[in-house]
Structure 1
Amino acid sequence: MTTKNLLVELFVEELPPKALKKLGEAFASVLADSLKSQGLAATDAVVTHFASPRRLGVHVTTVAAQAADKAVSAKLMPVTVGLNAQGEATPALLKKLASLGADASAVAGLKRAMDGKAEALFFESMVTGITLRDGLQKALEESLAKLPIPKVMTYQLDASSGCELPGWSSVSFVRPAHGLVALHGADVVPIQILGLKAGNATTGHRFESKVSPVVIADADSYANTLREQGAVIASFAERRADIVRQLAAAAAKVGNGAHAIEDEALLDEVTALVERPNVLVCSFEYQFLEVPQECLILTMKANQKYFPLLDAAGRLTNQFLVVSNISPEDTSAVIGGNERVVRPRLADAKFFFDQDRKKTLESRVEGLGKVVYHNKLGTQGERSERVRAIATAIAALLGQGGYANTGALSAQADTAARLAKTDLVTDMVGEFPELQGIMGGYYARHDGLGDDIAFAIEDHYKPRFAGDDLPRNDAGLVVALADKLETLVGMFGIGNLPTGDKDPFALRRHALGVIRMLVEKDLPLDLLTLLQSAVPAFGDRITDATPALADFIYDRLAGSLREQGYSAQEVDAVLALRPQRLGDIPKRLLAVRAFAELPESAALAAANKRIGNILKKADDVDAHVSPVLLVESAEKNLFDAMKTVLPVAQARWEAGDYTASLQSLAELRTPVDVFFEDVMVNAEQLDLRLNRLGLLKSLHVAMNRVADLSKLAS
């Protein structure tokens, strides 16, 4: 069977840039998978997707004009239903055969085979392979139906445009479609979609195409023809790589270690806005650099899709890079236009910054009482008071644990917590909500509050995302913990929990933030005590949901640990004990991993599981052993071994050397094995039975201080 390469392109009006990458990938993968499932494309066919602002395309290698015929075996019915006592076809069988396009002559050729406990009749036939025209039509319809379209448009299609739809018809798609190309080699595949008939011509760059329309000779010449004649780089990946190369080259020409800011999302969005990128260097007045660089960077990126230039030290320069969609010989007009456009944006940022500094953060505290936080939890002002109360409680707990001076830490944390949300009522944060916290830090320094308070205000939202830095000082750490706990305890307390992929208050992210601070800073705080310390700040506004919140945090912790490379067994073994000091968990995990590598671990884990099952069936076993009731040599030997090993394991556990503590238990393997071989635990004599259960209880407690070793049993 001869095969050719296939090219399909749908030409549309400008697609939503933030969705273009996913649209291109989905269009290609669904269409190619459909062709493969229909037998038209080889399973190892190479699929290349194209996506530009005005087109979605796919190139598939080794596509057949018609799929191969294939044998099909259709189950009809049980033999007892299809044939009567004389072996003749029943009306039910004849009706079933007729539905498959066969008649009574096919009865003799029916196959009999067991289907479960009964013998059934099967009709075997050869099905003619689907043609590329029909198969591609089906694949294209399926591909468009499954596109991850953020929002569908409905538009009118005129019959005079060449479509076969009568009169005016409504068509729904992400954007109005204007052209369809479908080439199998050099041959047009006569399909249609969205009122468009397939051809071999498309449209190039809106301004710089050499010809219009651009005729595609065959499937393999699509990308080159569009590039050479249509001035379009059809491949999203190639266009993106070209932008990266041009950004680096333009920055290098500026010199002095200048480099474009790195932002993958911005890069993807800009790639989706241009068909043939041309990077240009622009600049703005030095006076705007008096504004915090975070403000200028955000306004250039978010509003204008520019790439700010940083110097070798990471400071913002007065130059930026523009990715233009045109390449005129004289670029001065393009550069001048972009500089004129950005200037009012930067002027606005400077105005907001200057105006905000006319009022102190302290003077804005009262304004928080006018900003609603949640209808059940009150205003931002009330929320700030709760954060202050929780921060004070956390500082006291840290002081009790010897982590910090309670008085000094409490005073700093209280000041930072009182002012942390005040930048929400500033003009700058009103315009750019992403700058909350950051602007509070700048305004705190302007108010003369010093770096410690400024850092705490700026950092109290941290960590904002996975991999983000933790707060830089203890006051920031306390306020960040208090802020996240206020959200978690409050939302759980009113029953506002995340469901599925919906988490409007980012409770999952807040839980991971709490986990990271407790673990990475190894804070001397018990989780339940910490959660309960936040509840009184809410008064009677909430119900205490500490148990449910603790479960939620441990679930997030388990997922995080597995993502870090720990096995499910290791995580389950450690978290089964619900360790309250989360900072201990990494040490426990490493201890479990080291223990699992010992030759004795499997036997001890299995024994631990067995002991646990035995104790579950007993009532309130006391971990007490009376030596005079040890009558079997095996139980005496185990008891003697425990007297030697367990104190060592206990001392190492108390010293925090969890690895050595677990490894000490390896010496118990042989006496434990012999005990279970030679001793009947549930002896008929009550005092012997209780003593043996007490022996096992003592062993079980000692074995499971670091982790539940039974979770390691296969």
Structure 2
Amino acid sequence: MTDFLLELLCEEIPARMQEKASADLVRLLEAELAKAGLKAKDIEGFVTPRRLALIARGLPEATEAVSEELKGPRADAPEQALAGFLGKTGLTRDQLVEREDAKGNKVLFAVIDKPGRPTPDVLAEAVPAIIRAFPWPKSMRWGKASSSSESLRWVRPLQGIVALFGDAVVPTAIDGIESGRETVGHRFHSTGPIAIPTADAYEATLHAAHVIVDHRERRVIVREEAEEAAAIAGFTLVEDEGLVHENAGLTEWPVPLLGRFDPEFLSVPREVIQLTMRTNQKYFACVDGEGKLAPAFVCTANIVAADGGKAIVEGNAKVLAARLSDARFFWEQDKKIALAEQAKKLDQIVFHEKLGTVADKVERVAKLARWLVEEGIVSSRHPGESRDPELHASSSAALDPGVRRGDEEGRKALADMAEQAARLAKADLVTGMVGEFPELQGVMGGYYARAEGLPDAVADAIRDHYKPVGQGDDVPTAPVTVAVSLADKLDTLVGFFLIDQRPTGSRDPFALRRACIGVIELLTKNGLRVWLVNAIQKSVSAFTRQICHPDLGEEKLAEHKAGIDLVFSQLPDFFTDRLKVQQRDLGVRHDLIDAVVDAEDDLVRLLARVKALQAFVETDDGANLLAGYRRAANILKAEAKKGTEPKAFTGFSYEPDAAEAELAQMLDTQLPVAEEAIAREQFEEAMTALSVIRPTIDRFFDDVTVNSQDETKRETRLALLDKLRAAMQKVADFSKIEG
């Protein structure tokens, strides 16, 4: 068994492309080897800014001889068909084998013996094939040959190929670049060509030339030495694994160095400074003992400087100072204009050609946020606080306990702040700072709001109204923030469904799945009691007035029926699908959500119901009751196929068997208990009430013949089973439960 080394030397590969490129190189070689019937024991990939490499270990010296059989046409096929097959195989007619198939037809076969090939020959063909098939996200042509579209393409100009099988060079070439054993070391710490003796010596040979070829090792160096540099200065490095990967991808011999900047720049918001350092300069930020941003940074050099890195740090500090000066300029200039004035420019930004401008969206969101507070859906109560049963009749009744006592003034103040925050939430989109750093939208709005003296609740809502951004992100709990965030996401969902721009397959250009998960997280984490259809209706009305027909009222809704029907028919199902995805990660079964979703439009109640149902069906009583339900449902289904519909159970007109009398009595006793428990949202109690029926159901099926020859008994017993099925359906649709 022998090892194979392949190195593709080129000019600097962008850091963001390196990790995938390394995996692609391994994958492509595996595929080429497989075509020849070869398989390495292990293939390890390496990547630096200037080279892409791999070592395939444990390859045989040659491929095995194989015999390949190809099925051809029938023996009596036309000459043209036979000629085509012969041309494909390279054989003559007398070299073909004639066999009889299962139908008795005589069919021609070509048996081709392929002798084994030396592995280096296979590798020599594989290398050019890999290079030409390489899936770079972006590639280029260069030199005189670049005038032809057929010329070689690579991420950056390809400069050399090292191909060694054991200690021998694998002779191969592409576009005039021939393979060999010579490569180059570090751009500054090494001169002249470096000969690689074998694959095993590859890492050590380049390490001696100041190149660490293992990207994983470089990441460890960047991470640990950056932390050490910060600690020596009395700071703590701000963790940033993405920055670790990027710095490792920019260097072949990483040397983290600590630098400092003028503390006066700390007057600029922390996020701006960190983003400036990270995005523009690839620097790590540091914090002091109190967790505050320190006037220090860690940069990663690619050389061991004679002066210990002093000149490098000074140069980087000057560049950073210029960047931070620009950021401070934007910060100071933006603060001179109130957010309310900035918001007036939002009518110049198109949100979507069919949904109007950002100013239009702001108007809708402001009204919806206010409505969410006025209806008591969002209030100042503590999340999860219990509510009276009668409050679940409609979303408008679900008011905060304080509000129901007549605290209209407090509710109005909350609604005013929610509306104000919504009207200012997008204003920072037109600021200089967000124009420079789009990632800071929302964050900067919060800073500007606080700087001009707006209430903290309003500033916080502006800052956090985009949250949660996907599953796992922080979920706002402050009432004003929740109202604005919820309104913003509902408006986006309704708007794009209204114009039939739903996600399809893996495509979701408007991030509607993420918005939907955000709504679900906001509702469930805050215990918000809202009938989604009501909220959707409110949002649809706003769109209809503003976008579909600006001068007309709700009486014209019928004119936009197609889009509106699409919203109400598909958006609830979209929520259900996203809820399944979200809850699946939490261990909740999707079939149990299906079992209760038709009975609930309140997500908080729905999930409480699902939780109780999952706990119940996993018990013996639950499993047995489910089996009894299915037996009853199957009997009724079979009768329905015959055209027999069960009548309503009104009692017995004959002397019933003990088991059927007991079942009728048990249903009369336990059904009200279950329904009352559901009304109180005590779903565990409802399940327990049903579980009491389970032994009675077992006895009924053991002792009673449902399809009796007596027509009256048969109809009565079918009616009793239908009553059982209906009783259980009030708790959940057990027909949708799997297993």
Q: TM-score with structure 2 length normalisation?
A: 0.86
Equivalents in 1 of 2:159, 2:726: separation in Å? 73
Residues 112-191 of structure 1 aligned to structure 2 (within 5 Å):
114=102, 124=111, 126-141=113-128, 143-144=130-131, 147-156=134-143, 170-191=151-172
Report the CA distance shift for 1:183/1:583 in structure 2 as closer, same or farther (over 3 A): same
SS of the residue aligned with 1:552?
Answer: helix
What per-residue deviation string (whole Å, max 9, x for no partner) do you get for residues 448-490 of structure 1?
1121111111111111233211124101000000011111111
Equivalents in 2 of 1:713, 1:305: separation in Å? 52
Equivalent of residue 446 in structure 2, options 441, 448, 462: 441
Equivalent of residue 247 in structure 1, options 222, 226, 236: 226
2:291 partner letter: G
Q: CA deviation at 1:583?
A: 1.7
Equivalents in 1 of 2:151, 2:681: separation in Å? 71
Report the CA distance shift for 1:362/1:615 in structure 2 as closer, same or farther (over 3 A): farther
Report the CA distance shift for 1:555/1:193 in structure 2 as closer, same or farther (over 3 A): farther
Residues 47-446 of structure 1 aligned to structure 2 (within 5 Å):
47-76=43-72, 81-82=74-75, 100=89, 114=102, 124=111, 126-141=113-128, 143-144=130-131, 147-156=134-143, 170-209=151-190, 211-229=191-209, 231-255=210-234, 258-330=235-307, 331-398=309-376, 400-403=397-400, 405=403, 406-446=411-451
Report the CA distance shift for 1:537/1:104 in structure 2 as closer, same or farther (over 3 A): closer
1:374 partner letter: H
Equivalent of residue 511 in structure 1, options 509, 516, 523: 516
1:22 partner letter: K
Equivalents in 2 of 1:506, 1:413: separation in Å? 24
What per-residue deviation string (whole Å, max 9, x for no partner) do you get for residues 277-303 of structure 1?
010001110100011101111111111
Report the CA distance shift for 1:612/1:579 in structure 2 as closer, same or farther (over 3 A): farther
SS of the residue aligned with 1:429?
Answer: helix
SS of the residue aligned with 2:336?
Answer: coil
Equivalent of residue 550 in structure 1, options 558, 572, 575: 572
What per-residue deviation string (whole Å, max 9, x for no partner) do you get for residues 102-144 of structure 1?
567666x767675x99786655554223442443245435544
Q: Which piece of structure 1 moves more, 488-497 or 191-200?
A: 191-200
Equivalents in 2 of 1:167, 1:652: separation in Å? 77
SS of the residue aligned with 1:628?
Answer: coil
Q: CA deviation at 1:656?
A: 2.3
Report the CA distance shift for 1:48/1:574 in structure 2 as closer, same or farther (over 3 A): farther
Show the counterpart of 2:665.
640
Task: Assess if the C-alpha contact under 8 Å between 1:562 and 1:571 holds in 2.
Answer: no
Show the counterpart of 2:604.
583
Paired positions, count:
690
What per-residue deviation string (whole Å, max 9, x for no partner) do you get for residues 146-204 of structure 1?
54422221223569xxxxxx999722222211111111111111122344221111122
Equivalents in 1 of 2:286, 2:4: separation in Å? 43
Q: CA deviation at 1:689?
A: 6.1
SS of the residue aligned with 2:6?
Answer: strand
SS of the residue aligned with 2:467?
Answer: coil
Report the CA distance shift for 1:638/1:10 in structure 2 as closer, same or farther (over 3 A): same
Task: Assess if the C-alpha contact under 8 Å between 1:395 and 1:478 holds in 2.
Answer: yes
SS of the residue aligned with 1:180?
Answer: strand
Show the counterpart of 1:628.
652
Q: CA deviation at 1:19?
A: 1.6
Equivalents in 1 of 2:484, 2:537: separation in Å? 17
Task: Assess if the C-alpha contact under 8 Å between 2:128 and 2:172 holds in 1.
Answer: no
Report the CA distance shift for 1:71/1:168 in structure 2 as closer, same or farther (over 3 A): closer
Task: Assess if the C-alpha contact under 8 Å between 2:181 and 2:195 holds in 1.
Answer: yes
Show the counterpart of 2:22.
24
Task: Assess if the C-alpha contact under 8 Å between 1:361 and 1:422 holds in 2.
Answer: yes
Task: Assess if the C-alpha contact under 8 Å between 1:28 and 1:49 holds in 2.
Answer: yes
Show the counterpart of 2:506.
501
SS of the residue aligned with 2:30?
Answer: helix
Equivalents in 2 of 1:148, 1:704: separation in Å? 54
Task: Assess if the C-alpha contact under 8 Å between 2:7 and 2:53 holds in 1.
Answer: yes
Equivalent of residue 455 in structure 1, options 460, 480, 483: 460
Report the CA distance shift for 1:49/1:538 in structure 2 as closer, same or farther (over 3 A): same
Residues 649-688 of structure 1 aligned to structure 2 (within 5 Å):
649-676=674-701
What per-residue deviation string (whole Å, max 9, x for no partner) do you get for residues 661-695 of structure 1?
22443333343345456656577988766654543
Equivalents in 2 of 1:439, 1:240: separation in Å? 32
Aligned-pair identity (%): 37
Show the counterpart of 1:532.
537
SS of the residue aligned with 2:259?
Answer: strand
Report the CA distance shift for 1:678/1:471 in structure 2 as closer, same or farther (over 3 A): same
Equivalents in 2 of 1:53, 1:333: separation in Å? 23
What per-residue deviation string (whole Å, max 9, x for no partner) do you get for residues 632-687 of structure 1?
52432321222333333333333323234224433333433454566565779887
Equivalents in 2 of 1:75, 1:694: separation in Å? 64
Q: Which piece of structure 1 moves more, 415-424 or 675-684?
A: 675-684
What per-residue deviation string (whole Å, max 9, x for no partner) do you get for residues 563-591 of structure 1?
3333444444444x363121234433332
Task: Assess if the C-alpha contact under 8 Å between 2:151 and 2:175 holds in 1.
Answer: no
SS of the residue aligned with 1:503?
Answer: coil
Task: Assess if the C-alpha contact under 8 Å between 2:595 and 2:735 holds in 1.
Answer: yes
Q: CA deviation at 1:67?
A: 1.1
1:82 partner letter: A
What per-residue deviation string (whole Å, max 9, x for no partner) do you get for residues 372-414 of structure 1?
2222222222211100111122113335312474423212211
Show the counterpart of 2:36.
38
SS of the residue aligned with 1:9?
Answer: strand
Task: Assess if the C-alpha contact under 8 Å between 2:132 and 2:153 holds in 1.
Answer: no
Segments of structure 2 that go 5 or more residues without pairing to the other structure are 378-396, 404-410, 549-562
Q: TM-score with structure 1 length normalisation?
A: 0.89
Q: Which piece of structure 1 moves more, 288-297 or 533-542?
A: 533-542
Task: Assess if the C-alpha contact under 8 Å between 1:110 and 1:124 holds in 2.
Answer: no
1:264 partner letter: E
Equivalents in 2 of 1:661, 1:440: separation in Å? 48
Q: CA deviation at 1:705?
A: 3.8
Segments of structure 1 that go 5 or more residues without pairing to the other structure are 160-165
Q: CA deviation at 1:28?
A: 1.6
Equivalents in 2 of 1:578, 1:262: separation in Å? 46
Equivalents in 2 of 1:474, 1:281: separation in Å? 43
Task: Assess if the C-alpha contact under 8 Å between 1:151 and 1:174 holds in 2.
Answer: yes
Equivalents in 1 of 2:474, 2:166: separation in Å? 54
What per-residue deviation string (whole Å, max 9, x for no partner) do you get for residues 27-84 of structure 1?
1222134324532224xx122111111111111111123211234343345xxx4389
Task: Assess if the C-alpha contact under 8 Å between 2:366 and 2:423 holds in 1.
Answer: yes
Equivalents in 2 of 1:444, 1:117: separation in Å? 87
SS of the residue aligned with 2:142?
Answer: strand
Q: Which piece of structure 1 moves more, 498-507 or 691-700?
A: 691-700
Q: Which piece of structure 1 moves more, 635-644 or 432-441?
A: 635-644
Determine if the alignment matches structure 1 residue 593 to structure 2 residue 614.
Answer: yes
Equivalents in 2 of 1:113, 1:63: separation in Å? 40
